[in-house]
Structure 1
Amino acid sequence: MSALYALFGVLFVVGYVPQVLAVWRSRNGAADVSLPTWGLWCASSTVSLLYAHFVSGDPNYTLVCLGNVAGCYAVTSVTVFRRLAHFPQPA
């Protein structure tokens, strides 16, 4: 069962790559990406990571959670970057 969890954990983390690429290639500043939603997913994945590390102590669970944190923050960061590039701030 642990191997199955690890396998799906890796698949979930790899699943962030197409989203990051889609946001990066966006021609409208990724206007259709919900930053509040991704912000909540960042917070949720961070809490999961803290639980995995400090409470469960399971290294595999911690690694999967770390991958989810990295994926969520990557999508969120690239979205913010694309928006700032697409909608320049007034001087």
Structure 2
Amino acid sequence: MARADPDRFNNNEFLKKTDVQLNALQAGIVVVKNNLVTFASPFVDSAGLYNQLQGLPKGSDSHPWGPKINNRFTVNKYDFTFSDQSIGTVYVSPI
């Protein structure tokens, strides 16, 4: 979806519905646009979240789910470009 319709990640209604669906799967979502967190699931939100995300090591990690953020394992990171050419990233993390 980040590649096919990236502007959906600007839509708070879409993000809230997606968050509810992910919460049912014990996961949360964080959206970053132009180096600012624009949406974060309450389960993963915390002070300094963006800095923690930026501090993730590049490449693989010894944990099967990737490195930890707030004692939770990150699952996936998707980089994309919004239609206005701003840089975006979506993180999905188990809660």
Tell me the TM-score normalized by structure 2.
Answer: 0.23
Greater C-alpha radius of gyration: 1
Structure with greater contact order relative to length (CA < 8 Å, sep ≥ 6)? 1
Bigger fraction of residues in helix: 1
Bigger fraction of residues in strand: 2
Tell me the TM-score normalized by structure 1.
Answer: 0.23
